[in-house]
Structure 1
Amino acid sequence: MRAALTVENRVAIALWKLATPDSYRSVGHQFGVGKSTVGAAGIEVANAIKELLISRVVTLGHVQVIVDGFAATGFPKCGGEIDGTHIPILAPEHQGSEYINQKGYFRMVQQALVDHKGRFTNINMRCQGKARDARIFRNSGLFQKLQQGTFLPDQKITIGDVEMPIVILGDPAYSLMSWLMKAYTGSLDSSQELFNSSLSKCRMVVECAFEHLKVRWRSLLTQIDLSETNIPIVITACCVLHSICESKGETFMASWDVEENLLAADYTQPDTKAVSRVQEGAVRVRSFENQFHEWPGYSVKVQFVSP
């Protein structure tokens, strides 16, 4: 029997598979191994990254440094930004409808909190694409910790009669809390517009973090063909590697965005118009069915004709 692959080779295979949209066969040819070996090495290394590195890398770190970093951007007393992103997956064998998002795509949602440098300080996986960001957040351990005041330090400043704690920032999908700020809506005065402008400028950090995550680890741009159990492991490993790259000051090349756009253009998406037409037809059927409940005496005679 041939010698087992070295740890270095297994790590190289896994990193190549995570960083490219290449098929298992293509990666196997690159390293002179079979498709099954590529799959096994990828999961083995991703699981090791998750078990050994996540608690050391995906962590809050020094909160005051984060607060100072956001303050330099224009928003004081901020300890992070919360948001979610959708990762394309193949339709699961069971409960596939739970993974269909609003656009009709099969997705798994990743919720993440990032610091001022775009590093993940908290992540939440295993979220079905059907779920809304606000619901995912409320059901997460991060929400419970923030609500109990155990995640961020209890550092408050008093302005007038209001105590201002360290807060996180969210988009309009999230609920306004004493520790979660989001933009004003409706007719705004000048001070509210200034607040929204400062918040929007800071919100760019989390959007760039998700962009860098997917462009560096382009396997997240294609439909991940793994089981429901292994998909969160792979995405978590990519998040850990992303934070390591950001911490080390790894260069992000502009040309990678071009490659991402080309890859997205080649990726076949579901026909959302067809989905909408089906939904409109279903609404009409339901409306007609409702008439039978309103008029119990009304009946329809159906005749089946042989072809």
Structure 2
Amino acid sequence: MHPVPIQKRVAVAIYKLASNVEFHDVANLFGIGTSTACDIFWEVCEALCKMRKDFVKRPKTIAEMEAITTGFERKSGFPMCGGALDGTHIPIIAPASYPTDFYNRKGWYSVILQGLVAHNYCFLDFDVGWPGKCHDSYVFECSRLCRKMEEGTFFPPIRKNINGVEVPIMIVADSAYSLASNIMKPFPEGTARGPRAAFNACLSRARIHVEHAFGRLKVLHNFCEMQNVAYQELNEDVMDQPEAVPEQNDVPAFSPAEQIREALVAYINS
């Protein structure tokens, strides 16, 4: 009996992941035995999990960190940006247990994928599996990434003096998230005029990297990016839109986070 080629093994796993059909249906489609299809699926999944450390990793050295911040500033004009953060919904079949928890605001069942993306569209971190009903900010607050950001252990400890304010490495996010010293979000639309509007536009140019990465998302995503696999850009109309949430004054006036944001406003408009 001839072994199943690697290309076919990957195709079996991808088809199963994408369709969630029974293994005997997958086996019939690919002309292999049901037990073989099951074994192949789990072998490929295990291999993909092992590859995570090679293809999804945070910057650990100052040189790696500066390559990302420089990349973001060159492409968007936003300084000291270490990554763009957002969540996206992955469609699923309604689970038997607690299905309403997975029914999202868009009107279908999903789990949430939270991703942190660098300037080159590669993922630095991800967290997947939260019920679709959860809010993006809740997912972040419960994530390992949030804890490491609060502890100051996710990025190398680099700071830059911008207009008299010590600015750390930050991640950029949309208005669904809470403002913090290392998490920058836009000003509310009603107050974003003049220099603040320019700040919002600059932040958006940096943040859009995560939207584009979600649009390009596929199995072996970072591998494809590193191998320069050709890709046809998606229409931005199909991108996830930020969750609609009421704007809140979630940070006291003159807090460290507000001081950093105002310093960035001045820097971007200088």
TM-score normalised per structure 1? 0.68
Question: Equivalents in 2 of 1:132, 1:80: separation in Å?
Answer: 20
- Look up the match of 1:69: 71
Question: Equivalents in 2 of 1:142, 1:156: separation in Å?
Answer: 19
Question: Equivalents in 2 of 1:95, 1:69: separation in Å?
Answer: 43
Q: 1:201 aligns with which of 202, 205, 219?
A: 205
- Look up the match of 2:142: 139
Counterpart secondary structure, 1:67: helix
- 1:19-34 aligned at under 5 Å gives the runs 28=27, 31-34=30-33
Establish whether residue 170 from structure 1 lines up as the match of residue 169 from structure 2.
no
Counterpart secondary structure, 2:155: coil
Question: Equivalents in 1 of 2:48, 2:141: separation in Å?
Answer: 27
- Look up the match of 1:234: none
- Look up the match of 1:245: 224
After superposition, the Cα gap between the structure-2 partners of 1:16 and 1:97, relative to the gap in structure 1 and judged at 3 Å, is closer
Question: Equivalents in 1 of 2:72, 2:5: separation in Å?
Answer: 43
Establish whether residue 124 from structure 1 lines up as the match of residue 122 from structure 2.
no
Counterpart secondary structure, 2:83: strand
Looking at CA atoms only, which structure, 1 or 2, has the larger radius of gyration?
1
Counterpart secondary structure, 1:80: strand
Question: Equivalents in 2 of 1:194, 1:8: separation in Å?
Answer: 48
Q: Give, in angstroms, the shift of residue 9 of structure 1.
A: 4.1
| Structure with the higher helix share, 1 or 2 | 1
- Cα-to-partner distance string for 1:249-274 (whole Å, 9 max, x where unaligned): 111035xx59xx8xxxxxxxxxxxxx
- Relative contact order higher in (CA < 8 Å, ≥ 6 apart): 1
* Equivalent pair of 2:86/2:136 in contact (CA under 8 Å): yes
- 1:257-272 aligned at under 5 Å gives the runs 257=234
Q: Give, in angstroms, the shift of residue 104 of structure 1.
A: 3.2
Task: Show structure 1 runs of 5+ residues with no match.
Answer: 218-237, 262-307
Counterpart secondary structure, 1:113: strand
* Equivalent pair of 2:84/2:208 in contact (CA under 8 Å): no
Counterpart secondary structure, 2:191: coil
Question: Equivalents in 2 of 1:90, 1:39: separation in Å?
Answer: 20
Q: Give, in angstroms, the shift of residue 21 of structure 1.
A: 5.9
Please tell me the residue identity of whatever aligns with 1:253.
Q
What is the root-mean-square deviation of aligned Cα atoms in Å?
A: 2.5
Number of equivalences: 229
* Equivalent pair of 2:175/2:185 in contact (CA under 8 Å): yes
Q: Give, in angstroms, the shift of residue 16 of structure 1.
A: 5.6
Q: Give, in angstroms, the shift of residue 8 of structure 1.
A: 5.6
Question: Equivalents in 1 of 2:29, 2:163: separation in Å?
Answer: 65
- Look up the match of 1:88: 91
Question: Equivalents in 1 of 2:7, 2:200: separation in Å?
Answer: 48
Q: Give, in angstroms, the shift of residue 25 of structure 1.
A: 7.0
- Look up the match of 1:294: none
- 1:278-289 aligned at under 5 Å gives the runs none
Q: Give, in angstroms, the shift of residue 162 of structure 1.
A: 1.7
- 1:146-225 aligned at under 5 Å gives the runs 146-185=149-188, 186-213=190-217, 217=218
* Equivalent pair of 2:83/2:171 in contact (CA under 8 Å): yes
Q: Give, in angstroms, the shift of residue 35 of structure 1.
A: 5.5
Question: Equivalents in 2 of 1:68, 1:10: separation in Å?
Answer: 39
